[in-house]
Structure 1
Amino acid sequence: MKRDHSPVLPGAGATDYARYMRTDTLLGLQRSPAEVVHRDELLFQVVHQSTELWLKLAAAELVEATARVNAGDLAVAEALLLRATLAVRLITDQLAMFRHLSPVDFQTMQPALGNGSGAESPGWRRVQAAGRELGRTFAGHLAARGIPLATLCPANPADPVHRLAEAMVEWDERVSLWRMRHYQVALQVGGHAPAGTPGSPMTMLAKLVEHRFFPDLRQARLHRTGNETDAAQP
């Protein structure tokens, strides 16, 4: 018997896949061939638009992870944070696409960008707000239970609190790696002067590389590692 593949979902599109994924809308969000000033605008928009989608997911996972910490369900919070961290890893990897965008081509298409800047990314703003809230909530969780921060890193695999702390440190490292790669791309493709040059926007990007959502956890790990190294010395 032949299966009926006729769409049953409401909305635009010839198939249920198209209707559920809203592919007509999604694939129409990029500038048309008649609008572009350079063909690599498609590459540029696809990378940035997909980044916004992954950041939307990452922010949602961070918000839910925070709710789980409030509920005392730290194992689920860890799993959600690992998903958010993977999203950041994916957007870091796709920056490799910009190896195929030359500085000359970028300068040609730059007028189409207006005054737009990555600093205006709504996805990163949501992620930053959600990350800060997770940090505050986790700190409150520790304080309510009298758990010293210095005991959390490195993680104890048997303790959900320690495991979540380790996942938070990993999140910070992944975001820092993305910022470093973004800084390198801005230098290679954008034609900006390096950090430290008067008036260069790269100075702010370089400072953000060292920014951490959870600086106290990082310091706890560094302090603990340093003590272990000292103890190992003869």
Structure 2
Amino acid sequence: MKGEKNAGVKRSRQTSAGLGRPGGSRETYSDFLQLDILLNLQATLHDPPQRDELLFIVIHQVSELWLKLMHHELSEARREIAQDELPQALKHFARVKAIQEQLIAAWKVLNTMTPADYLEFRHVLGTSSGFQSWGYRLVEYILGNKDASYIDVHRRDPKIVARLEAVLAEPSLYDEVLRLLARRGFKLPATVVKRDWRKPFAGHKAAVEAWLTIYRHPRDHWELYDLAEKLMDMEMLFQRWRFDHVSAVERVIGHQPGTGGSSGVAFLKKALDLRFFHDLYEVRNRLIYG
């Protein structure tokens, strides 16, 4: 039965190249969305599937699609910030936040899976792990968590490695924001605006001073103030997604090791300390209230 399923997927891929229409036209809903491929990608390793095996696959595939769209929207926002088109960039930010809310909501669905349900199919997952999601890594890289060691897990796939290395070498979203501040007249050194983009950026006192001016006089710098707050919105939603990830894993496997050889919950909890926009947090430490 498994062989028949795989053969069906292969046939679907072959016919979808032309989508069953001369010239590859897409005349129907099914053609446009390539449903013959999409709905045959949930190939379970049991036939019939174990209780929650299909749930597990669907949730993670849908999440990968949201991550793909999220990276696209962040890339567009970065391009528009580089062109001083802030209103357009903020529209993409709004969409990213809506995507983040969908990713967070997915944990609620996955939390309907109990430990007993997971035990029925966990053994077939082998060494696969969410840590191997290159879609997630693209999002982290564009948001500024530049850690080249994350690429090592993909070394057997040269195309993925090339794509990750290309994104690693690009300015992050926040790098473009800092270059925007420099164009708006704020004094930022070359070590901030012309640095090695492959390296993580942990903040700089000159950037903090620029943001302090903006936060102390928001009406005079409203566009930049609003931009900063939108960045913080995304940061907080990302942290909520990470927290809910930790909670979902702990609910099912406790503190046992993860399938990919990681320490499981302990490994995921370390990510809760990661931040993308260090300067914006430091500004809050420097503002005087009272």
Q: Does 1:11 align with 2:11?
A: no
Equivalent residue in structure 2 for 1:23, among 19, 26, 35: 35
Q: Identity rate of aligned residues, in percent?
A: 29
Give the corresponding residue for 1:7.
none
Asked if 1:141 corresponds to 2:162, the answer is no
**Counterpart for residue 178 of structure 1:** 241
Do structure 1's residue 94 and structure 2's residue 106 form an aligned pair? yes
Instruction: Check 1:102–1:69 CA distance in 2 against 1; reply closer, same or farther (3 A cut).
Output: same
Aligned amino acid, residue 126 of structure 2 = G
Q: Which runs of 5+ in 1 are unaligned?
A: 1-9
Closer/same/farther in 2, CA of residues 34 and 106 from structure 1, 3 Å limit: closer
How far 1:33 sits from its partner (Å)? 7.7
Could you state the TM-score of these two structures normalised by the residue count of structure 2?
A: 0.67
Superposed displacement of residue 39, structure 1: 2.8
Q: 1:162 to 1:29 in 2, by over 3 A?
A: same
Aligned residues: 214
| Contact 1:12-1:22 at 8 Å conserved across structures | no
1:127 and 1:154 mapped to 2: Cα distance? 31
1:26-81 Cα distance to aligned partner (Å, 9 max, x none): 11110258546623111111111110111111100110101001100011111111
Aligned to 1:123: 135
Q: Which amino acid aligns with 1:31?
A: A
Pick closer, same or farther for the CA change 1:152–1:35 going to 2, 3 Å.
farther
Distance 1:211 1:140, change over 3 A: same
Instruction: Describe the shift of the 1:214–1:105 C-alpha distance in structure 2 as closer, same or farther (beyond 3 A).
Output: same
Structure 2 partner of 1:219: 282
Amino acid at match of 2:245: H
Q: Distance in 2 between matches of 1:61 and 1:39?
A: 35
Structure 1 counterpart of 2:122:
110
**Deviations 1:119-177 (CA, angstroms, capped at 9, x unpaired):** 11122111112212101111111123233122344894772211111111110000000
1:55 matched residue in structure 2: 67
Distance 1:25 1:143, change over 3 A: same
User: Which residue does the alignment assign to 2:80?
Assistant: 68
> 1:11 and 1:160 mapped to 2: Cα distance?
46
Secondary structure of the 1:115 match is coil
Between 85-94 and 179-188, the greater mean CA deviation after superposition: 85-94
Give the equivalent residue in structure 1 for 2:205: none
**CA 1:174–1:45 in 2, change beyond 3 Å: closer, same or farther?**
same
- Corresponding residue of 1:151: 213
Work out the CA distance in 1 between the residues paired with 2:55 and 2:217. 40
**Cα 1:192–1:37, aligned 2, differ >3 Å: closer, same or farther?**
farther
| 1:54 counterpart letter in structure 2 | W
Asked if structure 2 preserves the Cα contact closer than 8 Å seen for 1:58 and 1:127, the reply is: yes
Q: Distance in 1 between matches of 2:44 and 2:116?
A: 21
Distance 1:114 1:208, change over 3 A: same
Q: Indicate how the Cα distance of structure 1 residues 151 and 48 shifts in structure 2: closer, same or farther if over 3 A, else same.
A: farther
Query: CA, structure 1 residues 19+154, in 2 after alignment: closer, same or farther (shift >3 Å)?
Result: farther
**Structure-1-length-normalised TM-score:** 0.82
Measured in 1, the distance between the counterparts of 2:277 and 2:268 equals 19
